[in-house]
Chain A
Amino acid sequence: MADRMSIVLFSGTVDKLLAASILATGAAAMDMDVEIFLTTWGIEAFRKGAYKTNTRVSKDFEEYGSVMRELMAAKKAPTWWENLLGAREIGDVHIAACSMTLELFGLTLNDLESVVDEVTGVATFMERAKDSKVTLFI
């Protein structure tokens, strides 16, 4: 069985989404399975169409947000969304949405982008994450 990386994606800001997507790409490239569990603001980032309009960055580095966007555009750096799709293209990247958050926000799987594979609870994530070689909270 392939090694696995598990990510709890709690954040919905593009700087952290970018980090998560690049790590997922690297893991997929190195033949690891990737399990991503979306919860709270991570769910918001995967609402249908949200990736096109989301420009939020972490509060602690808010003043650098526009500069970062300009630099990424100038260097033609792929967005977090493009990285994530690339990771799914080359490897086994599974994305699950937290059932509790969906219920809290009044959402269903249909409200999220189609890259989200399923809705699960935290226990299912733990079951999949417990044997991971790498586990991250982003």
Chain B
Amino acid sequence: MADTLDIVVDKEIDARGSFCPGPLMELIRGMKTLPIGGTLAVLSGDPGSLKDIPAWLAKAGHELLATEPHEGYTRFVARKAR
């Protein structure tokens, strides 16, 4: 995956205070509000998100643009594909 820290997203959700399955739920809700082709970033401090968010994006048919590790959390960037 390319260095995508400079991607401008349409929407950013800070779900760091949210406990499992909160960040995934925030992502699913956020995706619903986006038009096709829109981009969304979700910040999650839940280690489960590292597996769950890519799994959900793959299942739902959306594109994972970046998984950025930060101190104590991960920033996931996705594009709504359908």
Contact = CB atoms under 8 A, between A and B. Distances in A.
B9 to A, nearest CB: 21
Given A30-B56, A30-B59, A31-B59, A22 B25 contact: no
B8 interface: no
Contacts of A90: 25, 28-29
Interface residues of B, number: 15
Contacts of B18: 76
A30 B21 contact: no
Contacts of B28: 29, 90
Q: Sort chain A's interface into a size bin.
A: 10 to 19
Contacts of A78: 19, 21-22
Interface string A84-120: 0010011000000000000000000000000000000
Interface string A30-47: 110000000000000000
B21 A25 contact: yes
Q: Taking chain B's interface residues, is the majority helix, strand, or loop, or is none over half, making it mixed?
A: helix
Contact of B19 (A29, A75, A86): A75
Interface of B: 17-22, 24-25, 28-29, 52, 55-56, 59-60
A77 interface: yes
B22 A29 contact: no
A26 interface: yes
A72 B22 CA distance: 13
Which 5 residue pairs spanning A and B have beta carbons closest together? Answer: A77-B19, A25-B21, A75-B19, A90-B28, A86-B25
A30 B55 contact: yes
A76 B21 contact: no
A83 interface: yes
7 contacts: A26-B21, A31-B59, A75-B19, A76-B19, A77-B20, A78-B21, A90-B29
B73 to A, nearest CB: 14
Contacts of B22: 78
